[in-house]
């Protein structure tokens, strides 16, 4: 089952890169919440190709059309269907490479899985374009969370070998997150940001691509959200993050680095101060036993370099079962990371809201 | 929902560390498969505390009792319930620390979530003991996979700062995996293994603990398993891995390191050789677009140091809302990693089998 | 969760009677099956208002638009989204009766449930119009079943007090079903059919409405489909039938009448004839223990009279919390049963296909 | 998937009639609720064979053992596993009839479905014994509902051709329900009850069996529970009812009889009285559009005659593929209806509680 997700809040995504359109049905939203369409539009724009020097020159308008579940400016409680028409496809580009299995893409696995019946144009259903409806759904989830002062924000932690600073795991606050999100290139250290952009431009000139890591924080989440074992916060957020094309790693708190600490260092010690219980460090990323402990939720998401590159590559031509050389034409992002921040935040918002409704019911929201 | 998992193969786990017992109900297994009880026992033993110098001195017999779904040596097709009685608890140890929130444990989050009604003895439902029924279920899944020559194996990639070699991502084979699994301390480089054991003994003496990373390979998996987006192989395996207590990071293929490569390096180029399609590198860990490409599936799982340590720690006593100092008594593993290998393999086998049945139906199995 | 259904084949429906449109996303269809659009259109027409004398004078074009999952005349294996635009609404009709809770409708329960935020025009999401996407999905399911010679057909068993003959429970065959489906007014005894139509016309003249019972048969289904307990054929088909607006009763085989038989009469005796095992009677409707036994699956579905009637009725005006009298204007079906046959068949086809894929996997289909 | 059910409250049942035991895991109960074990025992006794003259002479102790999720007299919030050991089986009785497909039973369908690997002793997993864990789970659900004054009760509406009175659909109250439940033979008209018992005794003497209908009412349920379409109250309760062995029909409100009414009669007119909105009739059984309207929920459940009868019957012997005659030995209920009342109430309580938590969250309960 590829496209349905959720326990309390169900998403059903659909569409292909070069078909009529893409979209999502969201079931389980509470009735009566007002949708802030401006906010949704802003979030959609964060995903859209921006600065032409570092992103694709394709124009994707991504205008969303709410088909159902929305009446008199409010969610009706019935399923919300959001459609985004495809308008700027150049499908013919793909006919010539129909049988050429682009390395790093899902051309080959899709061909095998779907017995050759998959829509091969532009990655079809595997396209990163499918993250646009996820951002739509995530923007609604973020609005709902925001009413409870829960803020989700990210910065680019690294591009290739260039590293930004990291969040302060114990003290990161909503203001800091809201400010960094507003940046055209969201890094903590703008000097490093310039280096990153230069590296991306260089990669583009080289007909190559770069990957990177996104660090995300969720602040003001009450303690007690998440479930032991199969619905741990880590399980559910990681499930969603790994559904984003290009993600190859996810870690919470200190993640892989916590394996190099001793227990006496890794354990976040609780203390009580004016009636509030906190921890002095936050190596566990705000989660114990799968459940939030009231500290910021922190996680890193690793994105591989964009597989679409202009450089000549070897691969197989399935029409002849031959090894060939080819190069990808077309307009591609030399680095997807800057556009992926909002996608990471969106799917995390969805996963988190699902767990919160699981705990608190609809009444918490309205 | 804490304890139910799965689409085609449903697991329902239950139990607490110091209650009457723990167990699992497995629904959706095909009728007629023979269960190899010796193999299940061997797998259970891999999880049991072994070498006393590097693990807990608790004796956990973990004798499983198959209550249902098993008749005349075969699975009947009805749900299999497996019970493991608790026999060696020392519950009184926990009364004195009932209100003391052990750092790094789920005492505090469980208390908040369950309004103080949770079974606080030995971690209750959050206990690592709950992984025993997962190993039981995983052993059955592994048997079924093995019939199709699909082998899952792991080694200890690192303990603290000490690193083993890594698998050869393109060439790792079933023999190599089967041999490493047999080792008393499963590492590739036994010299490094000795260093690791010494580090663990040292940590035990220091009343401290260590973490580490487990590298896992799944070999001989056909191309075409897994779904785009929400049921990608990465999503489903990561979901299960992050439900294991202590896991803080998961990465596939080169994982976080792939972010430092260029696209031209990271892309695994396809080639055809004697009619078989393979890739020359395996940076993507055998997965493109969430679907297996026929190469070995590779992933790393990061375990934090055991939170139970004998060293004095600061924390909060909830009965008085006071900051206190205390130290944990009792018999604990200075490093959980060696016992966790089989747990990692088990939950991966379950997640993978679920996806395979999704694709191929029951008939594939029988 | 109102609009998501299924285990293996997931439906997600959306839309309101007077919104932009209605539709469905179908996830889990096998790749490579050709869609017979003519057949889908024929099925859609069976649901459309027909003979003006016995149905509504509204014109509902119900032209479906396949947005995704369909490429080169085949299902791609990705989710199929089908959109049906709303074109012939007269929404203003409903403003004046916004606070008038029409008896027998979901106006009141929807208002309470959705805190007044529901789309009240024409029943909103509760409208019978939502069955159009179900017919679309059902037509695809029927096509797939038909390839395995499994045929689903229905006739009008009764309208008000006028009864048609019943199917021969042991001998009903695919030809008989296919012929009856073709009829403009599907009854076995056309004389009774004329009586029924006259009764409907009379009800229309009286500004009143009628209900009835639909008898359905599924033939050529192999033995062994369905699951004990929670996924019995009865449970899953009834679940879907009771989701159709207006359904108030479902019975399998002899249904309520079996309660008046003795065990020695009710038990369908097995016999073997030329290697085939059959039963001499079919009081159990082809199902034992929730699982098909190879005999025709038989069930009856009870539809209440259309709640929209022109007669003066008492009810409550929520804007004033007053008891009032009013009458419903507009164009309504005096009896929904003739249009509901295909809806009953459609949801049964979906429920059944889901169970068959559960048993046989995708490979059975392609 | 045979044995897992639920959205918010998940049940996982297991066991066979002649295996080690049967049981259920209940996931999703709120932490902190006290379990009234006496009430659970009383409910279990209502299902146990009672008056020997009208039920089986088997003794089934059905002592439940709560393995997990229960601590200090309260639910901990973790999964509750309840085990019931099998103690009084006479498994050898079944060896001689292993290949004889008992008419009306699931012997044949189970054999086909499970490829002969099913536990054939006493119906195996298909046994009515599996309803004992459902009663355990239902008793907990009923307790929780009772705290909100929601009462579920039933009476025997008919046995064979003998009919009891029916509930007053608009006025049935909790007192009346609680009184009828206490009766040794729960009918409204005790004179009819005596007739029914005599008919059952007669059937037993004739080595035959009887069926019947159970009428159930749920009172004091607030308006607004249930979902449109796939999670209508009717869909969810019917789903569970049809999972009870022997159920062949379910109808809500006037059910099949509503098809004989005109719209003007069938529509339940709303009126307001002292601020409360009610309906003057209750032909829809308290449900409009799948959602409760505040009136009593009313439904009938049809049970077929017990298929186990002592009379000689024809059937097939699968070991020889021959038509044979045989008669069932052993101790069987001549009529299951009296023992089934509590099962009907239990599964309805579970289905309803699931929908209520869906609407109100856990916080509603505690």
D23 has a chain B CB within 8 A of its CB: yes
Please state, in angstroms and rounded to a whole number, the distance separating the CA atoms of residues B338 and B197: 10
- CB-neighbour burial class of residue D63 (10 A; exposed 0-12, middle 13-18, buried 19+): exposed
B15 has a chain A CB within 8 A of its CB: no
One DSSP character per residue, A285-349 reads TTEETTEE-SSPEEEEEEEPPPS--SSEEEEEETTTTEEEEEE--S---S--HHHHHHHHHHHHH
Please state, in angstroms and rounded to a whole number, the distance separating the CA atoms of residues A158 and A193: 9
The tens digit of pLDDT for each residue in A212-245 reads 999 999 999 999 999 999 999 999 999 999 999 9
Say if residue C1's pLDDT is above 70: no
Q: What does the pLDDT read at residue D203? A: 97
Round to the nearest angstrom and report the end-to-end CA distance of chain D.
31
With beta carbons less than 8 A apart as the criterion, state whether B209 and B303 touch. Answer: no
Q: Within 10 Å of residue A71's Cβ, how many Cβ atoms?
A: 23
Chain D neighbours (≥3 Cβ pairs under 8 A) are: A, B, C
C256 has a chain D CB within 8 A of its CB: yes
A8 neighbourhood in chain D, CB within 8 Å:
358
Domain boundaries, chain C: 4-364
Q: Could you tell me where the DSSP H helices lie in chain B?
A: 37-47, 92-95, 107-113, 131-147, 174-182, 190-205, 233-241, 263-266, 337-360
Nearest to C70 by CA among B228, A64, A18: A18
Selected for mutation to probe chain D from C214, C270, C291 (highest D CB count within 10 Å) is C270
- Looking from the CA of D295 toward its CB, the CA atoms found within 13 Å total 29
Tell me whether residues B109 and A229 touch, CB distance under 8 A. Answer: no
How do beta strands D313-317 and C276-279 pair?
Answer: unpaired
Tens digit of pLDDT per residue, chain A (366 long)?
A: 578 998 889 999 999 999 999 999 999 998 999 999 999 999 999 998 877 778 777 776 789 999 999 999 999 999 999 999 998 666 666 777 889 999 999 999 999 999 889 999 888 999 999 999 999 999 999 999 999 999 999 999 999 999 999 999 999 999 999 999 999 999 999 999 999 999 999 999 999 999 999 999 999 999 999 999 999 999 999 999 999 999 999 999 999 999 999 999 999 999 999 999 999 999 999 999 999 999 999 999 999 999 999 999 999 999 999 999 999 887 789 999 999 999 999 999 999 999 998 777 766 665
A286: left (phi over 0), alpha (psi -120 to 50) or beta: left
Tell me whether residues B289 and A106 touch, CB distance under 8 A. Answer: yes
Please state, in angstroms and rounded to a whole number, the distance separating the CA atoms of residues C360 and D8: 28
Say if residue B60's pLDDT is above 90: no
Please state, in angstroms and rounded to a whole number, the distance separating the CA atoms of residues C188 and C177: 10
Please state, in angstroms and rounded to a whole number, the distance separating the CA atoms of residues B346 and B244: 11
Instruction: Please report where in the chains the tokens 């400010």 appear, as a residue.
Output: A179
Q: Could you tell me where the DSSP H helices lie in C88-161?
A: 92-95, 107-113, 131-147
SS3 content of chain B, % helix, strand, coil (to 5): 35, 25, 45
B228 neighbourhood in chain C, CB within 8 Å:
78
What are φ and ψ of residue C174, in 5° steps?
-65, -35
SS3 content of chain C, % helix, strand, coil (to 5): 35, 25, 45
Candidates A7, A78, A361; nearest CB to D361: A361
**A278: part of which helix (H) or strand (E)?**
strand A276-279
- Among chain C residues, the shortest Cα distance to B227 is held by C78
Cα angle value B81/B83/B86 (rounded, 5°): 165
Nearest chain A CA: its distance from B72 CA (Å): 32
Instruction: Please report where in the chains the tokens 């039933």 appear, as a residue.
Output: D154
Q: Give the list of residues 6+ apart from residue A7 with CB closer than 8 angstroms, or none.
A: A231, A354, A358, B1, D7
Selected for mutation to probe chain B from C68, C361, C366 (highest B CB count within 10 Å) is C361
Q: What does the pLDDT read at residue C366? A: 58
**C82: part of which helix (H) or strand (E)?**
strand C80-85
Please state, in angstroms and rounded to a whole number, the distance separating the CA atoms of residues B149 and B9: 20
Please state, in angstroms and rounded to a whole number, the distance separating the CA atoms of residues C147 and D253: 39
Candidates C104, C266, C300; nearest CB to D288: C104
CA separation, residue C100 to residues A293, C121, D284 (Å): 48, 12, 19
Q: For chain C, what's the residue count?
A: 366
Please state, in angstroms and rounded to a whole number, the distance separating the CA atoms of residues A42 and A23: 18
B12 neighbourhood in chain C, CB within 8 Å:
none
Query: Topology of domain D4-364, per CATH?
Result: Chorismate synthase, AroC fold (3.60.150)
Please state, in angstroms and rounded to a whole number, the distance separating the CA atoms of residues C116 and C114: 5
Nearest chain C CA: its distance from A197 CA (Å): 36
Q: Within 10 Å of residue A33's Cβ, how many Cβ atoms?
A: 18
Q: What does the pLDDT read at residue C329? A: 85
B309 has a chain A CB within 8 A of its CB: yes
Q: Give the list of residues 6+ apart from residue C73 with CB closer than 8 angstroms, or none.
A: C34, C35
Candidates D359, D362, D364; nearest CB to A359: D362
- Looking from the CA of A166 toward its CB, the CA atoms found within 13 Å total 10
- Among chain C residues, the shortest Cα distance to B10 is held by C7
B7 neighbourhood in chain C, CB within 8 Å:
7
Please state, in angstroms and rounded to a whole number, the distance separating the CA atoms of residues B147 and A54: 50
A245 neighbourhood in chain B, CB within 8 Å:
289
**Which three-class secondary structure state does DSSP give residue A146?**
helix
The tens digit of pLDDT for each residue in B288-335 reads 999 999 999 999 999 999 999 999 999 999 999 999 999 988 778 999
Q: What does the pLDDT read at residue C363? A: 65
Q: What does the pLDDT read at residue B362? A: 65
D230 neighbourhood in chain A, CB within 8 Å:
none
The token pair at C271 is: 């016999």
With beta carbons less than 8 A apart as the criterion, state whether B254 and B265 touch. Answer: no
Nearest chain B CA: its distance from D113 CA (Å): 8
A22 has a chain C CB within 8 A of its CB: yes
One DSSP character per residue, B61-119 reads ---EEE-SSEETTEE-SSPEEEEEE--S--THHHHTTTTB--TTSSHHHHHHHTTT-S-
The number of C-beta contacts closer than 8 angstroms across A and C is: 178
Query: Alpha-carbon dihedral of residues A250, A252, A257, A259, nearest 10 degrees?
Result: -100
pLDDT bin (cut points 50, 70, 90) of residue D107 is very high
Say if residue B237's pLDDT is above 60: yes
Please state, in angstroms and rounded to a whole number, the distance separating the CA atoms of residues C213 and B235: 47
Please state, in angstroms and rounded to a whole number, the distance separating the CA atoms of residues A293 and D186: 52
D362 has a chain B CB within 8 A of its CB: no
Please state, in angstroms and rounded to a whole number, the distance separating the CA atoms of residues C84 and C70: 16
Tell me whether residues C364 and B359 touch, CB distance under 8 A. Answer: no
Tell me whether residues D363 and A362 touch, CB distance under 8 A. Answer: no
**Which three-class secondary structure state does DSSP give residue B204?**
helix
Q: Is the ipTM of this complex over 0.95?
A: yes
Say if residue C333's pLDDT is above 60: yes
- Among chain C residues, the shortest Cα distance to D327 is held by C264
Chain B neighbours (≥3 Cβ pairs under 8 A) are: A, C, D
With beta carbons less than 8 A apart as the criterion, state whether B101 and B111 touch. Answer: yes
Instruction: Output the average pLDDT for chain C.
Output: 93
**Which three-class secondary structure state does DSSP give residue A171?**
coil
- Among chain A residues, the shortest Cα distance to D31 is held by A359
The tens digit of pLDDT for each residue in D131-145 reads 999 999 999 999 999
Written in H, E and C, the secondary structure of A4-64 is EECCCCEEEEEECCCCCEEEEEEECCCCCCECCHHHHHHHHHHHCCCCCCCCCCCCCCCCE
C96 has a chain A CB within 8 A of its CB: no
Please state, in angstroms and rounded to a whole number, the distance separating the CA atoms of residues B250 and B239: 10
The stretch D299-323 carries a mean pLDDT of 96
Q: What does the pLDDT read at residue A183? A: 95
Nearest to C19 by CA among C118, C137, C116: C118
D14 has a chain B CB within 8 A of its CB: yes
Candidates A8, A23, A76; nearest CB to C124: A76
C363 neighbourhood in chain B, CB within 8 Å:
360-361, 363-364
Please state, in angstroms and rounded to a whole number, the distance separating the CA atoms of residues C163 and C156: 8
D84 neighbourhood in chain B, CB within 8 Å:
none
Tell me whether residues D360 and A363 touch, CB distance under 8 A. Answer: yes
pLDDT bin (cut points 50, 70, 90) of residue D18 is very high
């Amino acid at each position: 089952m590829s496209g349905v997700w959720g326990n309390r809040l169900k998403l059903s995504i659909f569409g292909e890169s070069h078909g009529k359109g893409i979209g999502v049905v969201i079931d389980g939203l509470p009735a009566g919440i007002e949708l802030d369409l401006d906010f949704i539009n802003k979030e959609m724009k964060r995903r859209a190709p921006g600065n032409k020097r570092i992103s694709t020159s394709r124009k994707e308008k991504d205008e969303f059309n709410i088909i159902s579940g929305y009446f008199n400016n409010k969610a009706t409680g019935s399923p919300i269907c959001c459609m985004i028409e495809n308008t700027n496809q150049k499908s013919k580009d793909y006919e010539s490479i129909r049988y050429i299995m682009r390395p790093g893409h899902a051309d080959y696995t899709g061909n095998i899985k779907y017995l050759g019946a998959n829509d091969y144009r532009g990655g079809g259903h595997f396209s990163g374009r499918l993250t646009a409806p996820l951002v739509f759904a995530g923007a609604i989830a973020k609005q709902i969370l925001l009413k409870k002062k829960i803020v989700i924000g990210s910065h680019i932690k690294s591009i290739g070998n260039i590293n930004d600073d990291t969040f302060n795991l114990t003290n990161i606050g909503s203001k800091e997150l809201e400010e960094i999100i507003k940046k055209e290139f969201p890094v903590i250290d703008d000097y490093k940001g310039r280096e990153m952009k230069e590296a991306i431009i260089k990669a583009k000139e080289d007909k190559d691509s770069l990957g990177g890591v996104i660090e995300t924080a969720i602040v003001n989440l009450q303690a007690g959200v998440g479930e032991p074992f199969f619905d741990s916060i880590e399980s559910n957020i990681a499930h969603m993050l790994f559904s984003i094309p290009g993600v190859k790693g996810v870690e919470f708190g200190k993640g892989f680095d916590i394996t190099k600490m001793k227990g006496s260092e890794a354990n976040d010690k609780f203390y009580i101060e004016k009636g509030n219980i906190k921890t002095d460090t936050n190596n566990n990323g705000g989660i114990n036993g799968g459940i939030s402990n009231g500290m910021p939720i922190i996680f890193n998401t690793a994105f591989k370099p964009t597989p679409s590159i202009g450089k000549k590559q070897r691969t197989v031509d399935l029409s002849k079962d031959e090894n060939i050389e080819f190069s990808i034409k077309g307009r591609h992002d030399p680095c997807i990371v800057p556009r992926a921040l909002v996608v990471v935040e969106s799917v995390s918002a969805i996963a988190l809201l699902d767990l919160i409704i699981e705990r608190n019911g609809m009444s918490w929201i309205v």
